[in-house]
Structure 1
Amino acid sequence: MLYKQTQHKVLPKKILARRIFFIIIGSILMGIGIEEFLVPNQILDGGIVGISIILSHLLHVKLGYFIFLLNIPFFYIGYKQIGKTFAFSTLLGISVLSATTIFLHDFPVFTNDLLLATVFGGIILGVGVGMVLRFGGSLDGTEILALLFSKKCPFSVGEIIMFFNVFIFISAGFIFSWNRAMYSLIAYFIAFKAIDIVMAGLDESKSAWIISDHADLIGETILARLGRGVTYLKGEGAYTGENKKVIFCIINRLEEAKLKTIIEELDPSSFLAIANIAEVRGGRFKKKDIH
């Protein structure tokens, strides 16, 4: 029975169709950001795409071919390291991205202004990548490569990706120009922040932990004035040995100030810790109507 439960389950058709739809849309957006904003202005992205842009410029071959060919080894690695669903999602995303860049290669560009191309290219690219990542795929083999290297060297995945991209941007300085390399770095930073926004969502959920001698009153007030459910946990002070009731709840960024006001009104001496969380699913965390 346990063996059957741990096997991979086929995704329901509705969820699979939704995943495919958003991976395709995200890949098209990345292709637009690259081919209509960045590449015509000699601005690079990081990772395998950045290397593909350099090779395309030097060899005068359409970018999409390099993006697809250079990512082929990572389909297999992704399949072995992460799973079949991830590998096929990545294959779909890379295929659509490659086809989009090939299709848009001869289209008129949106702008030749370097600043506008950097900002809007970075935003569109980041939104596209974030969308694909959020729905289980990838558009670049750099992360998979970094995952493999991190197992054999003392550097983290993030540090390896950073070293890899620094090398690409330095290469861009020699091949294009140093101001193009600096614009590329700005575009990369903008794309990185856009990915964060798409991955975390605009709601920006936060977890709140409250320790107070008036936990019941605070919990009832949060429920009544914020419409948020709370969970009571049992805690014990390590120094005093006293039993404490801990309140746990989920809020969004718009409710953070109101929560602090409630705490300040009811128990200014209480302990409050608030942290960002990436995702909330299930349970009874859905906001209730405020009466």
Structure 2
Amino acid sequence: MPGILRDYLVMTIGTLCIALALNIFLEPNNVIFGGVTGIAAMLKTLFGLPIGITSLALNIPLFLVGLKRLGGFVFGLRTIFATVMLSVFIDVTANRVGQFVQREPLLYIAYGALLSGIGTGLVLRVGGTTGGVDIVARLLQQWRGIRPGQSMLIASVVVFGAAGWIYGATPVLYALLLAFIETRVIDIVLEGFSDGRSALIVSNKPEAIRDAVLHDLDRGVTMLEGRGGYSGQERAVLMCVISQAEITILKKLIYNIDPRAFVVMTEAVEVLGEGFRPAKAE
């Protein structure tokens, strides 16, 4: 299948997932959701306006800003397509799908967040947006390097604050849980599960640690040149990437050789290459 057709198919599936999450799990249980769609839902509660058409109208000014800043013919087409498809799916499926009404809020929140997060992640993954907060998320990612899931969580919290006086405190608390789960799912869809850990090691015995990592752990090591900020002393800094399961083994290797070694361990959002996922163009 040609790449462009695949991308539009993915966006169609993604927007359908979001609409189903809204109409099956969230709206029937009066769950607040963030972004422009959440604002449209509040307007439905207050004035009876249809969510799909209202969200489409609210998206127009945000789309114009995104078209100017993010630019490009591709962005414009994909955003128009995804935004229109989402609005259509929301209104078309509103009275045509079953409703998952439960007394236990964790169930419908978890299901709704999972389905909506997968849908939003799929749309973002192929370079589209569903308008609204998605456009803001892409702008912040471009300008500040903020993960889309994080910026969408912030925007959702702002909407929840405005919705509190309509729905009360308890639904807002549930909505925060929904947003947290949903944004985590979005980041997983975009970046995958992170099993990689990056280690920076400063030691007086860099060669011995290097050999141990190469031969005992069977991982690659990069030797960097460093200088102490206080002492001015030059030191070798070792950098290696390992799996989460190898953290304890690496620590033992290091501290058996040099108990005074300085180690910084961080999560690697994505690791591509030998020993991890193969690098390939999506």
Compute the TM-score of the two structures, normalised by the length of structure 2.
0.79
Q: Does 2:190 match 1:217?
A: no
Task: Identify which of 17, 22, 29 aligns with 2:10.
Answer: 22
CA gap of 1:162–1:121, structure 2 versus 1, over 3 A, is closer
Query: 88-97 vs 165-174, which deviates more?
Result: 165-174
Corresponding residue number in structure 2 for 1:153: none
Secondary structure at the counterpart of residue 183 of structure 2? helix
Corresponding residue number in structure 2 for 1:138: 129
Show the 5 A alignment for 1:72-221. Answer: 72-84=60-72, 85-106=74-95, 107-113=97-103, 114-142=105-133, 144=135, 165-221=156-212
Secondary structure at the counterpart of residue 245 of structure 2? coil
CA gap of 1:57–1:273, structure 2 versus 1, over 3 A, is same
CA distance in 2, matches of 1:88, 1:49: 20
CA gap of 1:142–1:197, structure 2 versus 1, over 3 A, is same
Deviation readout 1:143-170 (Å, 9 max, x if unpaired): 6458989xxxxxxx99997776445324
Contact 1:233 1:246 in 2 (8 A): yes
The one-letter code of the counterpart of 1:77 is: V
CA distance in 1, matches of 2:218, 2:245: 13
- Give the CA deviation at 1:79: 1.8
Corresponding residue number in structure 2 for 1:48: 36
Corresponding residue number in structure 1 for 2:254: 263
Q: Does 2:240 match 1:243?
A: no
Secondary structure at the counterpart of residue 254 of structure 1? helix
CA gap of 1:201–1:168, structure 2 versus 1, over 3 A, is same
The one-letter code of the counterpart of 1:189 is: F
Contact 1:223 1:229 in 2 (8 A): yes
> How many pairs are equivalent?
266
Percent sequence identity over aligned pairs? 32
CA gap of 1:190–1:161, structure 2 versus 1, over 3 A, is closer
Secondary structure at the counterpart of residue 274 of structure 2? coil
Contact 1:209 1:248 in 2 (8 A): yes
Contact 1:211 1:272 in 2 (8 A): yes
Corresponding residue number in structure 2 for 1:7: none
The one-letter code of the counterpart of 2:193 is: L
Gaps of 5+ in 1: 1-12, 150-156
Deviation readout 1:163-198 (Å, 9 max, x if unpaired): 764453244333334432332222122222322333
Deviation readout 1:93-147 (Å, 9 max, x if unpaired): 3233223212321111133333321222122222322333333333342364589
CA gap of 1:32–1:200, structure 2 versus 1, over 3 A, is same
- Give the CA deviation at 1:51: 0.3
Contact 2:194 2:267 in 1 (8 A): no
Query: 213-222 vs 32-41, which deviates more?
Result: 213-222
C-alpha RMSD of the superposition: 3.2
Contact 1:228 1:286 in 2 (8 A): no
- Give the CA deviation at 1:233: 1.1
Contact 1:36 1:109 in 2 (8 A): yes
Compute the TM-score of the two structures, normalised by the length of structure 1.
0.77
Contact 2:129 2:135 in 1 (8 A): no
Corresponding residue number in structure 2 for 1:68: 56
The one-letter code of the counterpart of 1:43 is: V
CA gap of 1:223–1:104, structure 2 versus 1, over 3 A, is farther
Secondary structure at the counterpart of residue 263 of structure 2? strand
The one-letter code of the counterpart of 2:19 is: G
Secondary structure at the counterpart of residue 224 of structure 2? strand
Task: Identify which of 219, 224, 230 aligns with 1:233.
Answer: 224
CA distance in 1, matches of 2:240, 2:6: 30
Corresponding residue number in structure 1 for 2:279: none
- Give the CA deviation at 1:251: 2.3
